[in-house]
Structure 1
């Protein structure tokens, strides 16, 4: 009897092993055939079963990691992230061919579950097709009516600078972290256009919102986000930073809903004060129309997108600017000398001064190049088959434009890894902008806030240089290390800002 039981147990044991072995072989075989690509597809590093190349990339410096992979696999190469294929584009000519010459094929965004769970395909940044076209057209025309990119917004920027200067002066030249103040300063410009008012620097709810955005942009570019996008059915059920992102954005959306509710209580269609008022009017006018994409949920996501796009990148660039001026006091002094000669101390800067401040303009552009604030741009998606770099890329593949490979290309810049304003000056000392300078990306999905960002950077930076000197605390050297995320931000630092 014992021998029979023993034989049966042995049979069951081998049967379970066989089943497990068969299952493993089946999964691996299915994974291989499902993800097999033709020879015309861009090459890339060998992918592991199931997870692909998720662990090939160093997520603390993804942009550098992807640039190094291009040295081995070429300017157009592929990565398999879980079950999805990604093609990384490197160097200016490749990006130009893709984003400009074939812009219609790359006009959509990929389906990223983490982003999708937050935006539901709405808004300005990650929507596609007709929804995106409608929202972008409306946002640009509406904001332009409120001074977006026009001379009338100069007064708003310069007035906000006076609030910031007052805050900076309150520290009396002692070391402090300017992060939240400069975030608030820049955000107040888009707030004036969207909400119709600014927020005081001591507003706790608003400051918390600014902190959330910075943290969430870091998490969205982490391995947690990649795992979520690759295996959403699993990651939605697991705790981790990917859940924190969702909570942060839900709180941000609640903050925006309160603003919208207040607008609705005082809303007068004949007196449209800001973007929200105009959007509410558009909702009212579009009721009953089948293809209308204007509703309150879309308004919430659009405002969220305008917040992030209209504040985070510019404020991060200015934080880099303070560090670079402290690191290179001779460059800072040269900028201040040029401003003294052209503007002096008796009046505020104007955009009209830009043509007469070539060195200052060159320094701003070099800060943007070296700061490399959007190192991998935002991802695109092919809406049909495309030929790039001699390879065939099918429909539905995610495309990553590696802006880092352009901003630090030794074939485009004389000293790519050195801070050198001369990159933007000709032999006569006049400002020139090389074609390879594309910090706002290019093509159909070019950053919609580019004109405002350029104005903010020039007026804020020139005003700071006109009134302050930036230096590190005694015995402290500037650390130029970065915190990788969707935006590339400097690590937290303290600085001395002394009034001139």
Structure 2
């Protein structure tokens, strides 16, 4: 039998029961009525929702193969056409993900070389912020540029200047595309592609993709012209060398094509920019919202442990409170509340229900990060979720902002390092407050709307 769920209306499905501004909250509420595995209809599309830590883990980890495919929506298909790493399935995805993981690891993801890149970027970021001399500043662009440069240095082998027009355009297009993809109108197109092909959102996204592909091809062309097969400067070089080897060996149906290179680079750039920068913005907003945590706890611990010296990754073990704050920021920020949809690649019996092959599945990460069975005060910003009674850092099983299983974020270790080094470096140098005339109580923690 199918998982239970609210009765759908003809054509509309359960749309009237889903708040388009906060669909994840509506789904969390529905799970209270229908249990941790339930069915909803987005228009005529059947979707199975998984709610709560134990259920999501059981599906994505214990049944990783069955739930491991990506559901490629019409918009994602329009954007990527099956190329790249994020929105692909089958052998192409397996081989490209394996290659990306190996290459990113070789270029320091989680190693000392990445630490040096991040600390260098911290210096550029701090220098830029110091120029404002304590005046109000919108941190969106500076944080986006800083996090973008980390993935750029790993992908291309070098960073960009913050004033570089091409770099600025790449970053702004990536962020705009991610934002518009979450908009309810875009979701309408995904549900009814024939009826909503004309929407402005789709035109903006496809134009952004076209312009980004052109820029990436130009950057790849330059790297190809200066390529030294014995020295890899970054991901692109490694891909080009692998591509040439397969061509020389006459490998049939190689996945190392120019299209897969361009879209893999675009995927890595967008994913490596927006998520980390958005989490940092949430972190600084929360520090301004809770000045006692910022000043009495984080600043005090940083001063006591580091003095005036530069923070290093190895300091994390001696900064349990700062580490707990960063983890709690990720939990509360909850920046991908509905994950990126999965799809079953075979019929699977789960929790006594039959979920048919090809069914769209939403692992509701919001329900994991706010699971009342796992967190003492899930709806409160509380760093003590990650601290023992003795004040030592404690890992929590239900901490799952990077998802889990086969489709877990492949840049997780890099993102963790960035969050730790950027956050502690900024808090070591600055004190963050609301702009003049705004009190801490007036700071709005309502997230942006959408899917």
TM superposition score normalised by structure 1: 0.86
Matched, 1:484 2:446: no
**1:424 and 2:389 matched:** no
Residue deviations 1:385-405 (CA, integer Å, cap 9, x gap): 112232111100011010111
1:54, 1:226 within 8 Å by CA — same for their partners in 2?
no
- C-alpha distance in structure 1 between counterparts of 2:237 and 2:174, whole Å: 24
- Of 197, 201, 207 in structure 2, the residue corresponding to residue 247 of structure 1 is 207
Q: Which of 305, 316, 322 is equivalent to 1:360?
A: 322
Could you tell me which residue of structure 2 aligns to residue 441 of structure 1? 403
Where do residues 62-211 of structure 1 align in structure 2 (5 Å cutoff)?
62-211=23-172
Q: 2:302 aligns with which of 310, 319, 339?
A: 339
Asked if 1:468 corresponds to 2:433, the answer is: no
Contact persistence 2:21–2:184 (CA under 8 A): no
Paired with 2:175 and 2:32, the residues of 1 have a C-alpha distance of: 31
Cα shift at 1:187? 0.7
In the alignment, the residues of structure 2 paired with residue 196 and residue 66 of structure 1 have an alpha-carbon distance, to the nearest angstrom, of 42
Contact kept in structure 2, 1:123 and 1:135, CA below 8 Å: yes
Which contiguous aligned blocks of 4+ residues in structure 1 show a shift greater than 6 angstroms?
none
Paired position in structure 2 for 1:282: 242
Alpha-carbon displacement from aligned partner over 1:242-289 (angstroms, at most 9, x marks no partner): 221111122112111110111122122222211111111111111231
Q: Name the SS for the 1:144 alignment partner.
A: helix
Helix, strand or coil at the partner of 1:85: strand
Q: Counterparts of 2:446 and 2:199 in 1: how far apart (Å)?
A: 30
Match of 1:381 in 2: 343
The Cα of 1:55 is off from its aligned counterpart by 4.3
SS at match of 1:199: coil
Q: Work out whether 1:409 is the aligned partner of 2:368.
A: no
Give the secondary-structure state (helix, strand or coil) at the position aligned to 2:46.
Answer: strand
Greater RCO, CA 8 A, separation 6+: 2
Q: Which runs of 5+ in 1 are unaligned?
A: 1-39, 487-500
Specify the SS of the correspondent of 1:373: coil
SS at match of 2:354: strand
Q: Distance in 2 between matches of 1:423 and 1:124?
A: 34
* Conserved? CA contact 1:218–1:484, under 8 Å: no
Q: Determine the structure 2 residue equivalent to 1:301.
A: 263
Cα deviation 1:82-129 (Å, max 9, x = unaligned):
332111110011101100110011111123111011111111111111
Shift of 1:50: 2.6
CA distance in 2, matches of 1:245, 1:106: 28
User: What is the DSSP-based 3-state SS (H/G/I as helix, E as strand, rest coil) of the residue aligned with 2:17?
Assistant: coil
Shift of 1:218: 2.3
SS state at 1:355 partner: helix
Instruction: Tell me by how many angstroms 1:48 deviates.
Output: 2.1
Q: Is the 8 A contact 1:314 1:457 kept in 2?
A: yes
Match of 2:253 among 270, 285, 291: 291
Q: Tell me the distance in 1 between the aligned counterparts of 2:335 and 2:112.
A: 26
Name structure 2 gaps, 5 residues minimum: none
CA apart distance, 1:291:
3.4
Number of positions where the alignment pairs a residue of Structure 1 with one of Structure 2: 445
| Alpha-carbon distance between aligned partners in 1 of 2:46 and 2:182, rounded to the nearest angstrom | 17
Contact 1:224 1:242 in 2 (8 A): no
In structure 1, how many angstroms separate the alpha carbons of the residues matched to 2:104 and 2:62?
28
Q: Render the CA deviation track for 1:462-493: whole Å, top value 9, x for unaligned.
A: 1111111100122213221211356xxxxxxx
Q: Distance in 2 between matches of 1:386 and 1:242?
A: 34
Is the alpha carbon distance of 1:108 and 1:186 closer, same or farther for their aligned partners in structure 2, counting shifts above 3 Å? same
Query: Could you tell me how far apart the structure 2 residues matched to 1:264 and 1:205 are?
Result: 19
Question: For 1:285 and 1:51, how far apart are their aligned partners in 2?
Answer: 51
> Is 1:218 aligned to 2:186, yes or no?
no
- State whether residues 346 and 358 of structure 2, in contact with CA within 8 Å, keep that contact through their aligned partners in structure 1: yes
1:339/1:462 contact within 8 Å kept: yes
